[in-house]
Homo-oligomer: A and B are copies of this chain.
């Protein structure tokens, strides 16, 4: 049982880095983000049980912080919280899935309408570049491909400058990841690159109606590529280690 790390974060850094006024990244936030990413990237599979103490141990924090993260993730629909029975990765029903996609379509249509004609050349270029990345990742068919096609939609939402819209799109998007993990077929590329290209074109042209329609069809297409697929579990410890490290946490 190693408890010696309680002080390492506070005093271990010392004054090595001077002049750098870095925001004190609260560890609760790190835990939240680590779990969130782990769920979205499907390292933690839908329905998987999430015991507070093993997670905390693995992430190098106490149950308190894990619990706080669970609460927030529950609001976002990524985690289910059953009284006295603990947390588990959300396992949306087909009906919930339908709801999520429907709302997402509505939200992203809003995004499209908002962006149409307002896209700066810089932004357009950024989107193009992103799609190129997608295209490249698509070839080698890794998990990168999935992440990138999701990020495209997030980028669009960011560009509206509407923080709430961004949050909702992010949330809906996260939940879609879960849903596809359950009901999607193993290696379906969520988004077709060509559809993203068309969309950018419509936005650039300022054709709001067409952009909205394209977005709508695009997301419907994503849904259409859905089927049932089995998945196996791994040990929570192995799964979480990379996330802990990437958030600067210290696993036991």
Q: Which residues of A contact B (CB under 8 A)?
A: 23-24, 26, 28, 64, 67-68, 71-72, 74-77, 83-84, 96, 99-100, 102-103, 106-107, 109-110, 114, 162-165, 168, 172, 175
Contact = CB atoms under 8 A, between A and B. Distances in A.
* Number of chain copies forming the complex: 2
Contacts of A99: 162-165
Contacts of A168: 103, 168
The majority secondary structure among interface residues of chain A is: helix
Contact of A76 (B75, B100, B103, B110): B75
A163 B28 CA distance: 28
Contact of A83 (B23, B100, B106): B23
A92 to B, nearest CB: 10
Contacts of A26: 83
A74 B163 CA distance: 14
A84 B26 CA distance: 9
A83 to B, nearest CB: 5
A103 B71 contact: no
Contacts of A77: 164
A103 to B, nearest CB: 5
A68 B75 CA distance: 12
